[in-house]
Structure 1
Amino acid sequence: MSDLVHIVYMSFSSKKLSESDLNDFLKLIRKKNQERGVTGLLLYKDEAFIQLIEGNKETIDQLFNIISKDSRHSNILKLLEEPIRKRAFPDWSMGFRTINNDQINQIPGFSDFMQNNHSKIDNNKCAEAVSHLLYSFRKHT
């Protein structure tokens, strides 16, 4: 049995990030991810991040623990953690894209999750929506 897993989480930046900040951050995490054998996708919109990280279970658990303690993130919410048979993003040390409302609206079946404040989030439905967003984003961009 494979020891591959993926984790999908959502967080908010503790400060507004410029394009330069994001590019510097990406250079750093892509290098570290490549060294660790981690792949995935990071989406950013209005200080909100949704990220999927995938790789060896022990490595992903350690990485998520580091992310959880990183002061650059706030309100970290793990949406999904599960074993996988193969990587969805095998060639991406960290695919990245900022997204806007027009792009979100073009993804088939995607809700207005990142556009509206929700008083209560059903984690199971949220995980499904985020997984759908990530995979649709890969397919349609």
Structure 2
Amino acid sequence: MKNIVYLSTAVTLLNDDQLIDILTSARKNNAERNVSGMLLYSEGTFIQVLEGEDTQVDAIFAKIETDPRHKNLITLINGSIVHKNFAEWAMGFTTVNTAKVADLLGYLKSMDSVHEKSDNNAAIITLKTFIETNKLVIRS
């Protein structure tokens, strides 16, 4: 089993309808291949985690690499994992803004406590770093 985490830039800023189209397609494709993960979008930047059996993750990632809606794809992580972090999600998704970021950070921090004794979870750390350095100001 493996995961891939990548960053990319949208060719143009996407509206909610376009993001829903991406999400619908991702959920369908991922469910067919038993791949799970999370997709975050903020001001033209995507970060995505894909996790599952090696050949299935690689097949989905190959399609993503040729998707004309984004550019400048950078693979951050491409390696083996022992267990899925997002096993219940064919594709978790959110647009990151100040109203949602606190809840998402809370979720990711709670996942840290689940995994802290077994390994340093690179995917969770990467997602948290993206959120925390994405020039978002969390206001109470």
Q: TM-score scaled to structure 1, two decimals? A: 0.71
- 1:23: how far off? 1.0
1:112 maps to which residue? none
Q: Give percent identity, aligned residues only.
A: 35
String of CA shifts for 1:58-106, please: whole Å, max 9, x gaps.
Answer: 1111221221111111000000111111110011000000112565578
- 1:132: how far off? 3.8
1:17 maps to which residue? 14
String of CA shifts for 1:32-83, please: whole Å, max 9, x gaps.
Answer: 1100111000000001000000011011112212211111110000001111
Tell me the distance in 1 between the aligned counterparts of 2:70 and 2:18: 14
Q: 1:84 aligns with which of 81, 84, 88?
A: 81
Long gaps (5+) in structure 2:
107-121, 133-140
Long gaps (5+) in structure 1:
109-125, 137-141
Provide the alpha-carbon RMSD of the alignment.
2.6
2:126 corresponds to 1:130: yes
- 1:15: how far off? 1.6
Number of paired residues? 115
2:38 maps to which residue? 41
SS in 1 for 2:26: helix
Question: Which amino acid in 1 is paired with 2:85?
Answer: A
Tell me the distance in 2 between the aligned counterparts of 1:34 and 1:102: 29
Contact 1:41 1:95 in 2 (8 A): yes
Contact 2:49 2:123 in 1 (8 A): no
Tell me the distance in 2 between the aligned counterparts of 1:131 and 1:22: 19
Tell me the distance in 1 between the aligned counterparts of 2:68 and 2:127: 25
2:94 maps to which residue? 97
Contact 1:9 1:80 in 2 (8 A): yes
